[in-house]
Structure 1
């Protein structure tokens, strides 16, 4: 939202310059104000100096890890990004990519191809109709099924 407001304000400002001068004018700021910093008066008595009164001399925006000390904030940010990006994403992706096939999917597929090749060489169908001996299959009788719908 702030970007839209800045865009609108900038276009209005440019129109006013164009109208007043009659041509497009580009304004370039050569001010050194971007290097100026806000300083806080520190206590002159050394005994009153505490961690909360020590403020960085530069304009410092916290990364959100520590709001009082810039060094601790920066170290926490760097270690967080190191562990999350380097260890989790990079190393985790490497482990995931090169982890062995624990479910043996590749082995099962190779065995299936070998079995198909063997059955074709012997002139048998790819899957035998009587893969399980029909004598070993126990089916319920019609009385046990009663009104049960059978979908084939």
Structure 2
């Protein structure tokens, strides 16, 4: 069994509270997701984030194929971190940790995603050519969009 890890860090010139308010609002995920992915929240984003929250999305990650993605917010430490885990969707495992730390002049946001692909050896073969570059593209877009919205340090 192969579990992959994606790490992304970004520093922004905003307060910890501003970062938390933006990142912990499920509707803002659409803002930082590329438009071509057709991201749409179906249910579960009608209240502030809490542990146990189930959020259902429709997303089109590859080749125009619409996919239902259901995540659960499993851990929340207000202002510091939260974790979302896929309950149903395209991955065999998706465990995404979001950390916010105060630094001089703003905050550092860190994402750590542990994920496993479906389809055994076929999934592993597709990883370096399809999945890894797509995830990098999505997180690069997110970084650019957050910089556009908040600036950079």
TM above 0.5, yes or no, is no
Larger Rg: 1
TM-score class, shorter: under 0.3
Greater percentage in strand: 2
**How high is the TM-score relative to the length of structure 2?**
0.18
